Amino acid sequence: MDLGLASKVFIVTAASGGLGLASARALVAEGARVVLVARRAEALAAAAAELGAQNAVVLPADLSAPETADAAAQLALDTWQRLDGAFVSVGGPPKGHVVENTDEQWQAAFSSVFLAALRVSRAVVGANPAARLGFVLSSSAKSPLADMAISNGLRPGLAMLVKQLANEIAPDGGRAFALLPGRIATQRMVDLLGHDPTPQDAVDSGIPMRRMGDPDEFGRVAAFMLSDAASYVTGVMLPVDGGLLQVL
C-alpha cells in the first residue's frame, strides 16, 4: 500500500527516543521528512544522523517553552517550504496519588503536557489549515491508571481538545487524532516500572497479547494515521496496547 507520505513534512516532538523517534523512523521509511524536536541535543543529532540529513533536521528545545512550537514550524518552512502536520508527544507526568502531588507538579505538567500540545496545534494549523495532527496520549484518557493522578487528570481533557480540534479543522481538510499507548517497551516504561520490562510484567498488567509492545509497532500506526491512506479518519482516540484497554 502506498501511504502517500513521500515528500510530506511533519514536526515530531519528543523525538530523541521512545515513541517519538519510532514514529519519525516510520515516517521517513515512507518517504516523509521530519523536524525532530526534543531537549537532548546530542540524542537528537544521533537520530538525525540515523534518518539522514536529507530527511531530518533538528530543533533542540524544551517543548514547554512558549516559542518552541513556532520555531519548529518555521524550521520546516525554511527547510522544505511546506508543513503537512505534526505528531505530538509530550513529557510524562510524575507518579502520585490524587492528594499527594503538589501544586507545582500539577502546574509543570499542565505546561508540558497540555499547553505544549496546544501550542504545536496553533503553530501547525497556522501554517497549514489542512494539516494532519496526531497526539500521543495514554490509556488514562479513557480509564484511570493507579498512582498516575496527574495523567488521569490531564489526558482526558486533552483528548476532548483533540476531538474539538478535529471538528474545527475538518472543513479545511485537516485531521486530528490521538493514539493511546499501553505498555510499550520504552525508557518511560522502565522509569515507571523501576526495571527493564519482563514477560511477567505483561502478564501482571493484564495485556491479552501477553507481551509489551515494541516502539516500532506504535510508530507504524502513527505513520498510517498521518498518511493519505487514513484520509477519512479523524477525531478518534485509537488504543495501541495489545488489547489492554477494556473500554469502548
Residue 192 reports pLDDT greater than 80: no
- For 161-176, what is the mean pLDDT? 98
Amino acid at position 122, single letter: R
Residue 208 reports pLDDT greater than 80: yes
- For 175-199, what is the mean pLDDT? 85
- What is the average pLDDT value for the chain, to the nearest integer? 94
pLDDT more than 90, % of the chain: 83
d(CA 86, CA 43) in angstroms, rounded, equals 20
pLDDT in tens, 64-122: 999 999 999 999 999 999 999 999 998 778 899 999 999 999 999 999 999 999 999 99
**What is the sign, positive or negative, of the torsion defined by CA atoms of 37, 125, 220, 186?**
positive
d(CA 120, CA 71) in angstroms, rounded, equals 10
- For 154-170, what is the mean pLDDT? 97
Of 145, 1, 120, 103, nearest to 69 by C-alpha is 120
pLDDT more than 70, % of the chain: 100
d(CA 242, CA 214) in angstroms, rounded, equals 10
Contacts of 160 (CB under 8 A, 6+ apart): none
Of 24, 26, 43, nearest to 35 by C-alpha is 24
pLDDT at position 188, please?
A: 76
Domains and CATH numbers, the chain: 9-240 (3.40.50.720)
Number of H helices, E strands in the chain: 9, 7
Q: Which three cell numbers stand for residue 127?
A: 501554517
Q: Which three cell numbers stand for residue 247?
A: 473500554
- Cα angle for residues 198, 186, 234 (degrees, 5° grid): 120
pLDDT at position 67, please?
A: 97
Residue 46 reports pLDDT greater than 90: yes
- Cα angle for residues 81, 82, 85 (degrees, 5° grid): 155
- For 233-247, what is the mean pLDDT? 94
In this prediction the pTM is 0.94
3-state secondary structure of 38: strand
